[in-house]
Amino acid sequence: EALLVESGGGLVKPGGSLRLSCAASGFTFSAYNMNWVRQAPGKGLEWVASINRRSEKMDYAGSVKGRFTVSRDNVGHSLSLHMTSLSAEDTALYYCARDRGDDYNPHLDVWGQGTLVTVSS
């Protein structure tokens, strides 16, 4: 069974940094593009970042571009999100999700349970 487990969330002050991790198991991690999706308290889903199988291409939502960096370790079967210059607007539950489908119609077929990031002084 494919499984994703996020970690690294917590309380951070405005302007601070945090690194999230996602451990993958039960599938060939290197064969899939991966994503981070977040959900602010009581709000909808917001895609944050994607990384392709070989770390050749990374894409970011406009709201995080220049502040967040997505990376992966195919040997260690893990995905990371390095977040800097955090503000209250970044407070959310951050999900790791596996990409499925072709390059023109991708969708997310496996999700972790999320890790909570709270930005507050």
Partner 1 sequence: SKVLTQPPSVSVAPGKTARIPCEGDRIGNKRVHWYQQRPGQAPLLVINYDKDRPSGISERFSGSHSGNTATLIISRVEAGDEADYYCQVWDGVDDQYVFGTGTQVTVL
Does 79 sit near partner 1 (CB under 8 A)?
no
Least distance (Å) between residue 73 CB and partner 1: 22
**In the complex with partner 1, which residue's Cβ is closer, 14 or 101?**
101
Residue 18 binds partner 1 (CB under 8 A)? no
Q: Are 94 and 81 in contact (CB under 8 A)?
A: yes
What contacts 105, CB < 8 A, 6 or more positions away? none
As measured in angstroms, the least distance from the Cβ of 33 to partner 1 is 11
What are the distances in angstroms from CA 3 to CA 17, 40, 51, 54, 115?
26, 23, 18, 20, 15
Please choose, out of 14-22, 25-33, 81-89, 105-113, the segment that lies near partner 1 by the rule CB under 8 A.
Answer: 105-113
Stretch that binds partner 1, among 9-17, 19-27, 39-47, 72-80 (CB under 8 A): 39-47
Long-range CB pairs of 105-108, under 8 A, 24+ apart, other chains included: 106/33, 108/35, 108/37
Q: How many residues bind partner 1, per CB under 8 A?
A: 23
Q: Is 112 in the site for partner 1 (CB under 8 A)?
A: yes
